[in-house]
């Protein structure tokens, strides 16, 4: 299955989410490849760092989407490559949309839904959003309002999982590690596990 991690807004944590989901799948012994179509190549940088440090397991990187898929493929793409965005939308079986809890991010998500409808062809892939880089305060108004607005949008489901704005996500990614590899029993690892289970219905 091809899973596209995307949104129109930069800085939503797409590469970090794609990287962590890929390693989460590998942890449960799935066959996984990642496709980095973002010219910034942040995801590829993290994977290369992982290889340089000799961290196992290694992630397979492919440069373009294959005609036939076996196992799981996770695609990371940025808006500086709109041709890649359009192709990934057409090929994806599901699209995961990280949304930071801000009005600007919600507006970008609305525009992204329209872009998907325009380029998906006859079949709109399943789209699911979740709050990423969420405010760590349990009663955050921003988190709650983002979920309320996202829930009202057409053609997209809202996952109950969320990833909180935690240092461990930035730190682990910069070291070529999944969050659960850096802090096995930490809150970030638990949040990622919940997200992975929702996305892949484990």
DSSP 116-161: HHHHSTTSPPEEEEEEEEE-SSTT-HHHHHHHHHHHHSTT-EEEEE
3-state secondary structure of 180: helix
In the predicted structure, residue 28 carries a pLDDT above the cut 70: yes
Check residue 35 and give its pLDDT. Answer: 94
Q: What is the mean pLDDT of residues 51-58?
A: 94
In order of their start, the domains of the chain are 2-200 (3.40.50.300)
Alpha carbon distance 25, 60 (integer Å): 13
DSSP string, 85-98: HHHHHHH-SEEEEE
Give the percent of the chain with pLDDT over 70.
100
Q: What average pLDDT does this structure show over 45-57? A: 94
Q: State both tokens at 125.
A: 């892939």
Work out the number of other CB atoms within 10 angstroms of the CB of residue 174.
12
What average pLDDT does the chain have? 93
120-154 pLDDT, tens per residue?
888 899 999 999 999 998 788 999 999 999 999 99
CB-based contacts of 80-86 (< 8 A; 24+ apart in sequence)? 80/38, 80/39, 80/40, 81/37, 81/38, 81/39, 84/37, 84/38, 85/6, 85/37, 85/115, 85/119, 86/119
Q: What does the pLDDT read at residue 63?
A: 84
What's residue 190's pLDDT?
97
C-beta of residue 13 within 8 angstroms of C-beta of residue 98: yes
| pLDDT at res. 202 | 56
Unique residue bearing structure tokens 């794609």? 18
The answer to whether the CB of 182 falls within 8 A of the CB of 168 is yes
What is the model's pLDDT at position 80?
82
89-107 pLDDT, tens digit each = 999 999 999 999 999 999 9
173-190 average pLDDT score: 96
């Amino acid at each position: 299955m091809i899973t596209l991690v995307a949104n129109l807004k930069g800085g939503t944590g797409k590469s970090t989410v794609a990287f962590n989901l890929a390693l989460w799948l590998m942890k449960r012994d799935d066959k996984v490849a990642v496709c980095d179509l973002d010219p910034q190549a942040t995801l590829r940088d993290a994977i290369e760092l992982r290889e340089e440090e000799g961290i196992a397991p290694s992630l397979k990187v492919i440069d373009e989407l294959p005609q036939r898929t076996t196992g799981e493929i996770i695609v990371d793409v940025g808006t500086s490559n709109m041709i890649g965005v359009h192709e990934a939308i057409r090929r994806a079986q599901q699209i995961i949309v990280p949304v930071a809890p801000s009005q600007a991010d919600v507006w970008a998500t609305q525009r992204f839904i329209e872009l998907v409808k325009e380029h998906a062809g006859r079949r709109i892939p399943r789209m699911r959003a979740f709050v990423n880089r969420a405010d760590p305060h349990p009663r955050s108004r921003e988190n709650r309002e983002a979920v309320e607005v996202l829930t009202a949008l057409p053609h997209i489901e809202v996952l109950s999982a969320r990833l909180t704005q935690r240092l461990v996500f930035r730190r682990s990614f910069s070291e070529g590690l999944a969050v659960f590899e850096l802090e096995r029993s930490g809150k970030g690892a638990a949040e990622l596990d919940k997200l992975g289970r929702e996305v892949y219905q484990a």
